[in-house]
Amino acid sequence: MEQMSSPKQYHVHYGSASSMARVDIGELWRYKDLIWLFVKRDFTVLYKQTVLGPAWILINPLLSTAMYTVMFGVIAQLSTGGVPQVPFYLAGTALWGLFSSCINKVSGTFTTNSTIFSKVYFPRLAMPISTMISGMINFLVQFALFFIVMLFYVFTGQLSPNWAAMPLLVPILLQVGLLGLGCGIIVSSVTTRYRDLMIVVTFGVQLWMYATPVVYPLSMLGNTTLRTIIMLNPMTAPMESFRAIFLGAGECSILMWCVSLIWTVILLAVGISLFSKVEKTFVDTV
């Protein structure tokens, strides 16, 4: 008789906490269905018992764009580098929304999911990764709105986007998502012991926005010390590149991208190291 093959079994080994980053890509891939379930859960929880539901994905950037247009365009009369105000602010709001949502939502990974983590095993990194994917899906919906607005201004002769460079949107999104993921998991690892850090992070993300060319173009700063400081901001290169591609007005250089990528690699490596260490002991502190 033929012997029946035994089902494949996975062995999970728990060891002492280590400060070294260990990411089992194969294990994460085996749990890809669970990651997708977390993505769907995020949408269900976020828009459950709301009147407008997922429409808030579009309403939020529209309201922000309207507010920025009045505050910075009409009242403060800040330059937009020759770009119409509505697509300028809508572009900045959409891309920054992806980054800030990654930080704010990933930063609560351990505190908001402690009951799940304490009952069943799965790769803990699957949770923040699913949050990042949810943020990217939200961005794509907002980007569709932005693209329609952009086409209107193109047809009226007010915008000249770089059509050939539009595929570069993919690496820009990946870089912004990984940067937000790195910052978020650093915060989530620290907040297992210091809950009040969440308040500081929320305020810090708001300040970070004003240190990024979201409501103003980098060209407005001229050759000043402030411009040099803002160029060291890892979000400056993606923001300016996004506008250069889709609005035809933005400054980006190899140096800016090198700075941004170096920061992203460092923050992601530090975040994964802390996350790998904390995930083994956080149940005792949360």
pLDDT at 22: 60
Count the Cβ atoms, other than its own, within 10 Å of residue 169.
Answer: 16
Residue 115 domain-assigned (yes or no): yes
- Distance, CA of 43 to CA of 209 (rounded, Å): 25
Report whether 253 contacts 228 (CB < 8 A). no
Residue 73 domain-assigned (yes or no): yes
pLDDT at 9: 54
Residue 123 domain-assigned (yes or no): yes
pLDDT at 283: 52
Of all residues in the chain, the percent with pLDDT exceeding 70 is: 84
Residue 229 domain-assigned (yes or no): yes
pLDDT at 49: 55
Compare 190 and 210 and report the one with higher pLDDT.
210
Q: Which of 111, 98, 232 is nearest to 175 (CA)?
A: 98
Q: Look-up: residue for tokens 């980053």?
A: 21
Residue 13 domain-assigned (yes or no): no
Residue 8 domain-assigned (yes or no): no
User: Domain tally for the chain?
Assistant: 1
Residue 282 domain-assigned (yes or no): no
Of all residues in the chain, the percent with pLDDT exceeding 90 is: 37
Average pLDDT in the 195-217 region?
A: 86
Residue 5 domain-assigned (yes or no): no
pLDDT digits (tens, 9 = 90+) for 249-276: 888 889 999 999 999 999 999 988 888 8
The range of the structural domain enclosing residue 60 comes to: 25-270
pLDDT digits (tens, 9 = 90+) for 125-160: 888 888 899 889 889 989 999 999 999 999 998 998
